[in-house]
Amino acid sequence: MFRRVLMRRAYNVGRYEAARSHARLLLNNPKERTLARSVMVRSYWNEQAFQALIETASEWEDDLARSYCSLAIERLSATDSGKKLTSSKQGRLERLRGEQPKPKHAMEWNSTDMAANFSQEGERLWFRYPQGYVYWDMPKGFDLSSTHEVLLWLAAETLLSPWEPSTRAPFPSIRACGERPSLSFSAGTDSTAAALVMPDHTLLGYHRRSFDSMLDHRNAERLIGHLNGSGEREVIQIESNHELIRTHHDKPVGFSSDFACAVHLILLADHCDLGAIGFGTPIDNTFLWKGRKFRAFEETHYFTYWTKRFQEAGLNLLFPISSVSEAGALMIVKQSSWVDHLNSCMRGDGTKGCGRCWKCFHKNGPLGRTFDIKSHEIQTYLNKRPMPTATHALWALQTMGHEDELPDMAHLFEQDFSWWEKVYPPGFDLLPEPWRKQIEKRVRAFLPVMEKPYELHEINHFDEP
C-alpha cells in the first residue's frame, strides 16, 4: 500500500525512474499489477523512451500496454525514416520553448481528467501537457469555470492524441449543441471559400502564433481587416503557442493534429454559443487520399470517429467545401470581391506573394498572378514522386499550359482536368442539417456540377493499391 503511494507520488512529479523502481516491485502482486504496468508504460512514454517501452511491455496483454506499444513502434519507425530534426534545429526549438511564459501556479499533468489540465489567470488560459505548458489569450469575459468539461476534453484530444492514448478515453459527459456556426479560418484560399459558402453569421476564428517565426501574418491581416472593417463577417483572432507541443516529438512547429487548428474555437464554444465548427478541407483531403487516390471518405474511421467526438461536445463537424476541390475553391473566391484582399503565400509582404513558393504556383498562379515555374521550391515539389496534391497540380499545370514540366507523367495529361473545378454532389451528404441546405445552395450558385460517371472515382495517379 505504502509503495503504491510512493510510486504515484514519484510519477506525478515526473520522477519516472523512481516511479518505475517502485512499480517493478509491485508487478508480481496481482492486485497492483495493472496500476504498476500502467506506470511503467506511461513513464517510458513521457520520457519518449520508446525502445525501453517496447522491450518492457511487448508481452503484456492489457489494452493500455498494447496501444502504447503500437504507438511506440510507429514513433520509432517515423524517426528512423529520416524525419528526425537536425540537432541545430532541436537546439533552436529548445531555446524557443525555454523562452515561453509559465503560469504563476504550477499544475501537474493529469492523464485521467483532461479538464484538470486547464487553468485561467486573467484572460490567459493555460494547458498543462506532459512536457510543459501552452496558453491562449482569450477574449475579455471568457470564463473557464463556465466552460463545459467536454470541450476541454475534446481540446486536449486534438492537441495530444497522436502521443497520448489517454486523451481518447470516453468523455465524462455530453454537451448540448450551441446555435452559432464557426469556421477555423486561416485566411487562405480554401478557408476563404468555406467562409463564402457558410452562413453570414458564421464566426471565423483565426489562430495567431504568439512567437516570431518565418510565418508572415500580414497577408492574413489584410483580409481579416477587410472582413471585420466592412462588417461582412466577424473574425476573432486568438493568440497561442500551442504549436510548440509537437516539437517535443521530433516535429517542427505546427498543429498537433488536423483539428488542432480549431482548438481556440472548441475552447470558445460556450463563450460564443457555438454549435458547429467548419474546416476548409477540399476534396483533395477528403475524398482523395493525399490528393491522389479516391476513397469513400464517409466510411473512413477518421470521419466517423471525429464526427462522433465533436457531436458529443455539442459541435457539428462541418466540411463546407467537401464537394469542392482546391480548384473549385479558387473559382469560388475568384467570384468574390474578397479576392483582392486575399493571398495564400505565407512569405508575401502583405500585398503580394513571393512568386517562388509552392502556394504561389498552385494557389496564386490559377488566379492569374505571376510566379516563376523554374524556382527551386516549385521545381522540387513538381519533381517529387508521388507528387504532393497531385490532382490539383496536374490541373494547374494543364490550365496554365505547363504540361512539359512533367515529361514522365505525359500520359496523365491525356485527360481533360476541367471537371476538377466542378462540384461533386456526394460531398453534400457529409453535411448535417440545418447547415447542409444553406451551404449546398451557395456552393451550387458558385460552381457547375461534375458530370456522371464521376472521373474523381477513377483517380489513382500512381497506381497505388
Rule CB under 5 A: which residues touch Zn ion? Answer: 345, 353-354, 357, 360
Of 113 and 377, nearer to Zn ion (C-beta) is 377
Rounded-to-integer distance, Cα 443 and Cα 441, Å: 6
The amino acid occupying position 91 is: G
Best CA proximity match to 140, nearest among 155, 160, 120 = 120
Query: Smaller CB distance to Zn ion: residue 222 or 422?
Result: 222
User: Please, are residues 26 and 3 in contact by the beta-carbon 8 Å criterion?
Assistant: yes
The CB-of-355 to Zn ion minimum distance in angstroms stands at: 6
Task: Write out the three cell numbers for 294.
Answer: 479516391
Which residue, 359 or 461, has its beta carbon nearer to Zn ion? 359
Cβ nearer to Zn ion, comparing 10 with 345: 345
Grid cell, residue 74, equals: 510507429
Nearer to Zn ion, 22 or 222 (CB): 222
Contact 373, 367 (CB under 8 A): no
In the complex, minimum distance from the CB of residue 371 to Zn ion, in angstroms, rounded to a whole number? 7
318: which 3 cell numbers?
A: 462541418
Q: Which is nearer to Zn ion, 248 or 347 (CB)?
A: 347
| Minimum distance from residue 397 beta carbon to Zn ion (Å) | 17
Smallest separation (angstroms) from Zn ion to the CB of 222 = 15
> SS3 for the chain, per residue?
CHHHHHHHHHHHCCCHHHHHHHHHHHCCCCCCHHHHHHHHHHHHHHCCCHHHHHHHHCCCCCHHHHHHHHHHHHHHHHHHHHHCCCHHHHHHHHHHHHCCCCCCCCCCCCCCCHHHHEEEECCEEEEEECCEEEEEECCCCCCHHHCCHHHHHHHHHHHHCCCCHHHHCCCCCCCCCCCEEEEECCCCHHHHHHHHHCCCCCEEEEEEECCCCCCCCHHHHHHHHHHHHHCCCEEEEEEECHHHHHHHHCCCCCCCCHHHHHHHHHHHCCCCCEEEEEECCCHHHCCEECCCEECCHHHCHHHHHHHHHHHHCCCEEECCCCCCCHHHHHHHHHCCHHHHHCCCCCCCCCCCCCCCCHHHHHHHHHHCCCCCCCCHHHHHHHCCCCCCCHHHHHHHHHHCCCHHHCHHHHHHHHCCHHHHHCECHHHHHHCCCCHHHHHHHHHHHHCCECCCCCHHHHCECCCCC
Q: Nearest distance from residue 347's CB to Zn ion, in Å?
A: 5
For the bound state, the minimum distance from the C-beta of residue 393 to Zn ion, rounded and expressed in Å, comes to: 15
CB-nearer residue toward Zn ion: 239 or 372:
372
Write down the least CB distance from residue 375 to Zn ion, Å.
9
Q: Residue 445's CB: how many other CB atoms inside 10 A? A: 10
Instruction: State the minimum distance, in angstroms, from the CB of residue 417 to Zn ion.
Output: 23
* Pick 353 or 365: Cβ nearer Zn ion: 353
Output the smallest distance, CB 189 to Zn ion, in A. 13
CB of 374 to Zn ion, least distance (A): 14
Select 361 or 419, whichever has its Cβ closest to Zn ion: 361
Instruction: Report d(CA 68, CA 150) in Å as an integer.
Output: 24
DSSP β-bridge partners for residue 316: 276
Q: Give which of 455, 313, 439 is closest to 395, Cα–Cα.
A: 455
Q: How far is the CB of 365 from Zn ion (least distance, A)?
A: 10
Q: How far is the CB of 12 from Zn ion (least distance, A)?
A: 47
